[in-house]
Chain A
Amino acid sequence: MTTTQAAAAALATAGRTRTSPRRRAQVSRGVQYGALLVVVVVVAATADWGRVGAAFADPAAVRAIAPLLPRAALNTVIYTVAAFAVGLGLGLVLALMTLSGVRVWRVLATAYVEFFRGIPALLVVLAFGYAIPTAFEVRFDSVVLQIALALGLVSAAYIAETLRAGIQAVPRGQVEAARSLGMSPTATMLRVVVPQAFRIVLPPLTNEVVLLLKDTSLVFALGLATSDYELTKVGRNALSDPDGGLTSIVAVGLVYLVLTIPLSTLTRRLERTTGHRGHV
């Protein structure tokens, strides 16, 4: 019997069965939908909906916190932008140091990145909020600067890694082509590598902004003037209000989502569009 005949014979006996892989996948999907339906029905029947409504959407709490939210949201955005500016500037320097031919730069940059990625950001915020002013008798005139430095120093470590990966993702041939045309290392970096690396790092960089925006919540640990409150601090204070409670937290959370969801959507769209453009 030839190989072809043998294969045909085997399929003739076992080729059609109700337990084929495709049938099994179909059954599995049905079971999963069924399980979900059961959970939803049970929760809906047993929950105390009046109480849930009061906790999540208490009108008094909404009235109390709503006026504070615009200012708090603006502060959150300001802290994010300022910290990102510090993080991006310092991150680019660190990335170039990591890629430098000079060993000392590489070692210093690596140490920095490892240090700040290895400790909680809250610790750095506390250092800038209390420890550094006390130890060195400095006073930060601007809260924005204080926060931008604290969070910027941390995010620089992450941004540096993102930028380094982006620069390294630009094919070596691009550098060789530029150098073979007589372009200097600097011109090659600025005119050929960085523009292409930028395209590669745009999605992860946008994602970094989202993380940073959420990390501005850490400044709730600082003693701030009311006008400097950001979203989490407002939510935290509302908790000690008689009208506050879960509703305040929900309200603050919703404002965060209004800010982060567009950024996440942008990240995904950038990932799609830049993914399509191959590098030649």
Chain B
Amino acid sequence: MTTTTAGTSAADAPAASTAPVVAISGLHKSFGPRHVLRGIDLEVAAGEVVCVIGPSGSGKSTLLRCVNLLEQPTEGTVHVLGAEVTDPDVDIDLVRTHVGMVFQQFNLFGHLSVLENCTLAQRTVLRRSRAEAEEVARRNLALVGLADRAGSTPGQLSGGQQQRVAIARALSMDPALMLFDEPTSALDPELVGDVLTVMRDLAEAGMTMVVVTHEMAFAREVADRVVFMDEGVVVEQGTPDQVIGAPAHERTRSFLARVLDPTHRHPAAG
């Protein structure tokens, strides 16, 4: 289901099949005097699942938001599906149609039904007919196990259901890349599993994913690669067994000790 070819139309340059879906190079980001990202280099290959972990304030969200340009990088380049999003001449809206994003706070459109949440961008951006948009939306709602809630409003759903709708909404654009920013952090513990299951299915179906998460069990099981960030730099990265199982750096070790300590946080569900 991964189609990087969709992105080449955005770039107007055919990408080789081995070209990375995301290529970040020398990325810096400052908010005023706050230097949040301090030189990030990162590539994500097609079909790869990359989990980004790190302490609060280390810049994980900022990094993710630089990929679809919700934050404007201060320095460096970001290529997505072959298109340089940091180039002002690139149509960022077009690139974004190929990049789904899931937020910690769901951000469902409160004035629209679940179905309309999933059809709005299809209709206004992709210009799909109502019938086609609704068919795509229903297919993706079924995928996240919410086929029967199409007529509900977001306010009638639990947090876990809302987050799954948010995933269906993003998938309805047929993205080639999915970005997740702590998708389960705002959920009650018993609702975390449902969302992680959907994400695991998505990964198994071959979706390219970048996931910022504190769910170490999920990262261990699903990630092809784990990236540990601290203070705006990538401290280390590798397979889950390397980074989580046998971290090379002291900073990683102390972070993992804090996260995995059950007196600080329940053991990760799912």
B66 interface residue (CB < 8 Å to A): no
Say whether A182 contacts B93, CB under 8 Å: yes
Interface size on B, residues (CB 8 A): 29
B88 interface residue (CB < 8 Å to A): no
Q: Which residues of B115-162 are within 8 A (CB) of A?
A: 120-121, 124-125, 154-155, 162
B255 interface residue (CB < 8 Å to A): no
Say whether A181 contacts B125, CB under 8 Å: yes
Chain A residues whose C-beta falls within 8 Å of the C-beta of B169 in the assembled complex = 181
Complex CA distance for A178 and B124, rounded to whole angstroms: 11
Say whether A179 contacts B111, CB under 8 Å: no
Q: A191-B124, A277-B155, A280-B154 are in contact. Are A182 and B107 (CB under 8 A)?
A: no
Q: A173-B103, A176-B70, A280-B154 are in contact. Are A181 and B170 (CB under 8 A)?
A: yes
Pick the interface stretch among B23-31, B52-60, B94-102: B94-102
Say whether B120 contacts A191, CB under 8 Å: yes
Chain A residues whose C-beta falls within 8 Å of the C-beta of B154 in the assembled complex = 280
Nearest CB in chain A to that of B165: its residue? A280
Question: Which of the residues B96, B110, B162 comes within 8 Å of A174, measured between beta carbons?
Answer: B110
A144 interface residue (CB < 8 Å to B): no
Nearest CB in chain A to that of B166: its residue? A177
Chain A residues whose C-beta falls within 8 Å of the C-beta of B166 in the assembled complex = 177
Say whether A176 contacts B93, CB under 8 Å: no
| Min C-beta distance of B145 to chain A, whole Å | 19
| Min C-beta distance of A264 to chain B, whole Å | 26
Q: Which residues of A154-196 are within 8 A (CB) of B?
A: 171, 173-174, 176-184, 187, 191-192, 195-196
A279 interface residue (CB < 8 Å to B): yes
Say whether A277 contacts B107, CB under 8 Å: no
Q: Max chain A CB contacts within 10 Å: which of B95, B108, B121, B162?
A: B121
Complex CA distance for A19 and B248, rounded to whole angstroms: 69
Q: Max chain B CB contacts within 10 Å: which of A178, A199, A279, A280?
A: A280
Say whether B125 contacts A173, CB under 8 Å: no
Complex CA distance for A118 and B125, rounded to whole angstroms: 44
B105 interface residue (CB < 8 Å to A): yes
Chain A residues whose C-beta falls within 8 Å of the C-beta of B100 in the assembled complex = 180-181
Chain A residues whose C-beta falls within 8 Å of the C-beta of B124 in the assembled complex = 183, 187, 191
Say whether A179 contacts B103, CB under 8 Å: no
Chain B residues whose C-beta falls within 8 Å of the C-beta of A21 in the assembled complex = none
| Min C-beta distance of B161 to chain A, whole Å | 11
A-B contact pairs, 26 of them (CB 8 A): A171-B107, A173-B103, A174-B110, A176-B103, A177-B101, A177-B107, A180-B99, A180-B101, A180-B170, A182-B95, A182-B173, A183-B120, A183-B124, A187-B124, A191-B124, A195-B111, A196-B109, A196-B110, A199-B111, A278-B110, A278-B155, A279-B110, A280-B107, A280-B108, A280-B110, A280-B154
Interface set of A (CB-CB < 8 Å, partner B): 171, 173-174, 176-184, 187, 191-192, 195-196, 199, 277-280
In the complex, the 7 A-B pairs of residues with the closest C-beta atoms, listed nearest first: A182-B97, A181-B121, A173-B107, A177-B107, A180-B101, A182-B96, A280-B154
